[in-house]
Amino acid sequence: MPQWTVPLADVVVPEEDIAAVADVYRSGWLSMGPETEALEREFAAYTGAAHALAATNGTAALHLICVAAGLGPGDEVVVPSMTFVATVNAIAYTGASPVFADVVSVTEPWLDPASVESVLTERTTAIMTMAYGGHPGQSEALAQLARERGLILLEDAAHAIGTRLGGRHLGTLGLAGAYSFFSNKNLAVGEGGMVVTDDDAVAARMRLLRSHGMTTLTWDRHRGHASAYDVVELGFNYRIDEPRAALGRRRLARLDDDNARRAELDARYRELLAGVDGLTPALPPVEGVRLAHHLFTIVLDEGIDRARFRETLAVRGVQTSVHYPPAHRFSIHATDAELPITDAYGERAVTLPMFATMTIEQQDEVVEAVRAALGVTAGARG
């Protein structure tokens, strides 16, 4: 691995977290049990959802909400192309067809309700939103549109743990929401995820689907609460394990502090980059709304060579990324749909380092590197 002066994201696991995980290994019970149940209770309380169920990763969580929503062959589901491909894959796993809609603007890379409306057909059954960078975007307008049209609203809230809008946590605006605990996410466990819903039947169905469609869990049988089981659904093994649940609980308890630190870094980036020619910071803050600040992205002016810009930063030890190559540009999801704003963002956006333990010195180094890189590439502007 290259030694970055400033990595894109960083995970620091304090000794007390390691001790909590070690205790689980000493307990003699590793598969879903008391730690998982506690994490689910705490996550439900944190988001205000009636039900929270942990899953093995965010993709499995997305698949669970799609299956539990009843998606299947013949259904069309409107989804952004400007997302991680797993959002789109999860819809396709069910046999339903993902239908792409465009995003609002090159600094607001989330679903545009007008574009969503323009692709609705009589086969549309659901809208899947993605809270880009933890930003609520047009979630409320999309929830309203879904209600008006009798469509199911599903939320990929992988970036948005900690974002609340009008008192509601993202992921709880529609029928069900999914979250990821992947190692570069705000609540980093390594691999892990969560689903939430207020609907008792959907929750019961997801609980079954998560564990082979079996009517009892190993944990229930271990505690003598059940001895036999039936299999009533074609389910999966999408369970988390106890060590990861224990780590997730520790990190959830600190998440608001971590997100507050991200908010400070976000505001400081905006201040320092305000006068810099050649770029526009994306994801504008929302007055009075607490955001997860999962990503900090900038959009380069048209004509700036992005590959060269990123390479110049890399040489200085500053890691960057692109979130995301649009899904409709991958062979597997290729379509005739025209998504000009998604394409423009996909070509011009750069993700700068952002993590709760980032120091001011590291942030200054990123800003210096960005300024220098734009100076160097100025001649290459067309």
Ligand X SMILES: *Cc1c(COP(=O)(O)O)cnc(C)c1O
List the catalytic residue out of 185, 205, 250, 293: 185
> Which residues are within 8 A (CB) of 19 and not within 5 positions of it... i.e. 6 or more apart?
none
- By CB under 6 A, is residue 182 in contact with ligand X? yes
Closest C-alpha to 115, from 86, 145, 85:
145
Of 15, 16, 158, 2, give the one whose Cα is nearest residue 89.
158
Out of 59, 115, 129, 312, name the contact with ligand X by CB under 6 A.
59
Interface size with ligand X, residues (CB under 6 A): 14
Minimum CB separation of residue 192 from ligand X in Å reads 7
Is there binding between residue 373 and ligand X (CB under 6 A)?
no
Distance CA 136, CA 291 (A): 8
Task: Out of 9, 24, 43, 57, point to the residue binding ligand X (CB under 6 A).
Answer: 57
Of the residues 36, 47, 81, 83, which one makes contact with ligand X according to CB under 6 A:
83
What's the CA gap between 99 and 128, in Å, rounded?
10
Of 36, 81, 180, 197, which one interacts with ligand X (CB under 6 A)? 180
Cα–Cα distance for residue pair 51/105, rounded to 1 Å:
34
**Beta strand ranges found along the chain (DSSP E):** 51-55, 76-80, 97-101, 103-105, 108-111, 124-130, 152-156, 164-165, 168-169, 176-180, 193-197, 279-281, 296-300, 349-352
- What is the closest distance, in whole angstroms, from the C-beta atom of residue 42 to ligand X in the complex? 19
Q: Could you give the CA distance from residue 159 to residue 292 in angstroms, rounded to a whole number? A: 7
Active-site residue 185, yes or no?
A: yes
Q: How far is the CB of 54 from ligand X (least distance, A)?
A: 12
Contacts to ligand X from residues 113-172, by CB under 6 A: 130, 156, 158-159
Distance CA 120, CA 18 (A): 49
- Applying CB under 6 A, the span of 18-26, 79-87, 264-272, 344-352 interacting with ligand X comes to 79-87
| Shorter beta-carbon distance to ligand X: residue 89 or 377 | 89
**Where on the chain is the footprint of ligand X (CB under 6 A)?**
57-59, 83-84, 86-87, 130, 156, 158-159, 180, 182, 193
**Catalytically active residues, by annotation:** 185
